[in-house]
């Protein structure tokens, strides 16, 4: 994990850029911060950082954290004059989920990630105020279509390590002012993206009853950890919080919609092969008692179904430690066919939705040959085992206890993730994907 390499990303904070910038003349090219100050913004610097996967164990829930990638988060200072009560800021005075006045904006200036199977920028609602609890509670909501490795605008022909800018705001006036400032400062107007917050979905403001927000900058299955570490270096990007000096009424931006889902890549023709794999696994297990279940993929419909993920879910799986039970999951490798950009299977504990074990499509080629050794399409399939002890088993991931991990008696949620149809630039249609299956194997007592 990048965070375990102790890459703490500290971009200078403290005085705002508008406090220390001198006015520019008509013949000078201003810095971006100066141009923003000229547009009437108070400019404060934040930072891009990642959290280690175990960090969520201190939260009320791990929210089905995907362990096979990184979550980049924007750490922001408080808005000027914002109340700091109950805001649990870090040592630099920042927080990764933040209140936002409706006329404020957050800007990322830097490069897209290095080569990876999937990345995206998308603001989320994080918490909402609950009157009955007299406090905030989890209110996870995707706020619109993602800026991903298909839809993000960038400089050049390669979507990776490319100059880009992402503006997160609810206000059309703020968006336009930031774009003017960026162009004055020499940024390419064709590489500026808007991550719109739709005010009809949220309660914005700086008081204790306002929603909080976060940026989910997903980076999944990157090719080289060293490249990602270099990309996360402090001089590689800027994160800025922009507050108009005078609060103003906004012109609301519309909800960011995703492209139409669906593509012409046909994987349903392979269902007979998948059925053969199911039968072959059952035959290989012989008379051993098994519990068979199937999962069909669907889209989580937060943010008007605008997310990039299509999920299959199998809840309430029990594999007690010491029982000898193990789980075989199988399915179609949509990623190897180009139907999906990133695919994995993750086992989550249902008590707090931390992760117990996982496997990704990078590992799957060859995993089904045990069952269909001569079939010409066998490498379009996968079969993977999850067990407490993988000794003597190929293509197997061991379960673990604790957090992240499983507690005694905790049920398991098996989650089949399918991220991004490259042909459409959004989630795949669930009806265009093949089912996933599982055999819970109960050894003879």
DSSP 169-238: ESBHHHHHHHHHHHHHTT--GGGEEEEEPPGGG---BSSTTS-EEEEEEEEEEES-HHHHHHHTSGGG-E
Percent of the chain with pLDDT over 90: 71
**What is the tens place of the pLDDT at every residue in 361-415?**
999 999 999 999 999 999 999 999 999 999 999 999 999 999 999 999 999 999 9
Is 19 exposed, middle or buried (CB count within 10 Å of its CB: 0-12, 13-18, 19+)? exposed
With 60 as the cut, is the pLDDT of residue 301 above it? no
Mean pLDDT check: name the lowest of 25-29, 121-125, 145-149, 187-191: 25-29
Q: What would the two tokens of residue 172 be? A: 């059309």
Q: What would the two tokens of residue 424 be? A: 């459409």
Contact 201, 114 (CB under 8 A): no
Rounded CA-CA distance 13/74 in Å is: 13
CA Rg, the chain, in Å? 24
Among 278, 322, 323, CA closest to 435: 278
Among 50, 72, 64, 51, CA closest to 356: 64
pTM assigned to the model = 0.89
Q: What would the two tokens of residue 346 be? A: 């993750």
pLDDT of residue 94: 94
pLDDT of residue 74: 96
pLDDT of residue 28: 80
With 70 as the cut, is the pLDDT of residue 163 above it? yes
Mean pLDDT check: name the lowest of 109-113, 243-247, 253-257, 273-277: 253-257
Rounded CA-CA distance 429/415 in Å is: 17
**What is the tens place of the pLDDT at every residue in 196-239?**
999 999 999 999 899 999 999 999 988 888 988 888 887 889 99
**What is the tens place of the pLDDT at every residue in 57-107?**
888 788 888 888 888 999 999 999 898 777 889 899 999 999 999 999 999
Q: How confident is the model at residue 306 (pLDDT cuts 50, 70, 90)?
A: low
What φ, ψ does residue 340 adopt, rounded to 5°?
Answer: -130, 145
| Strands 412-419 and 396-398, bridge-based pairing | unpaired
Q: How confident is the model at residue 300 (pLDDT cuts 50, 70, 90)?
A: low
Rounded CA-CA distance 273/333 in Å is: 12
**What Cα–Cα distance (Å) separates residue 3 from each residue in 48, 51, 55, 225, 290?**
12, 6, 10, 11, 40
Q: What would the two tokens of residue 142 be? A: 């995707």
Among 160, 163, 152, CA closest to 188: 163
**All domains in the chain, ordered by first residue:** 3-244 (no CATH), 268-442 (2.60.120)
Average per-residue pLDDT in the chain?
89
**What is the tens place of the pLDDT at every residue in 3-50?**
333 323 333 334 444 444 455 555 688 999 999 999 999 999 999 998
């Amino acid at each position: 994990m990048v965070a375990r390499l102790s890459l703490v990303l500290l971009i200078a904070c403290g005085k705002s850029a508008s406090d220390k910038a001198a006015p520019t003349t008509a013949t000078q090219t201003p810095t971006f911060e100066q141009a923003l100050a000229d547009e009437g913004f108070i400019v404060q610097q934040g930072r891009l950082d990642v959290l280690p996967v175990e960090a969520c164990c201190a939260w009320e829930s791990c929210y089905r954290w995907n362990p096979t990638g990184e979550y980049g988060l924007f750490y922001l200072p408080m808005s000027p004059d914002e109340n700091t009560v109950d805001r649990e800021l870090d040592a630099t005075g920042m927080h990764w989920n933040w209140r936002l006045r409706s006329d404020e904006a957050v800007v990322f200036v830097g490069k897209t990630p290095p080569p990876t199977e999937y990345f995206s920028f998308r603001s989320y609602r994080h918490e909402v105020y609950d009157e009955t609890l007299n406090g905030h509670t989890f209110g996870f909501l995707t706020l619109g279509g993602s800026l991903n490795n298909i839809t993000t605008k960038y400089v050049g022909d390669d979507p990776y390590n490319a100059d880009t800018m992402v503006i997160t705001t609810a206000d059309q006036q703020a968006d336009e002012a930031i774009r003017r400032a960026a162009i004055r400062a020499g940024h390419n107007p064709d590489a500026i993206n808007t991550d719109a917050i739709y005010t009809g979905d949220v309660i914005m403001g700086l008081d204790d009853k306002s929603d909080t927000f976060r940026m989910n900058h997903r980076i999944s299955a990157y090719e080289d950890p060293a490249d990602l570490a270099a990309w996360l270096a402090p001089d590689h990007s800027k994160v800025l919080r922009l507050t108009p000096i005078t609060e103003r009424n906004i012109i609301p931006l519309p909800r960011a919609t995703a492209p139409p889902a669906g593509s012409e890549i046909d994987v349903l023709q392979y269902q007979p092969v998948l059925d053969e794999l199911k039968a072959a696994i059952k035959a290989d297990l012989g008379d051993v008692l098994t519990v068979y279940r199937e999962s069909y993929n669907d889209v989580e419909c937060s943010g008007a179904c605008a997310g990039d993920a299509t999920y299959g879910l199998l809840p309430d799986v029990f594999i007690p430690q010491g029982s000898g039970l193990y789980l075989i999951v199988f399915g179609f490798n949509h990623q190897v066919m180009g139907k999906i950009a990133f695919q994995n299977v993750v086992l989550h504990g249902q008590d707090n939705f931390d992760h117990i074990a996982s496997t990704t499509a990078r590992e799957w080629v060859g995993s089904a040959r045990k069952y269909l050794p001569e079939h010409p399409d066998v490498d379009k399939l996968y079969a993977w085992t999850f067990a407490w002890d993988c000794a003597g088993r190929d293509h197997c991931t061991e379960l673990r206890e604790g957090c992240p991990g499983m507690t005694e008696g905790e049920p398991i949620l098996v989650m089949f993730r399918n991220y991004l149809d490259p042909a459409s630039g959004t989630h795949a249609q669930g009806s265009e994907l093949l089912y996933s299956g599982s055999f819970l194997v109960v050894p003879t007592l």
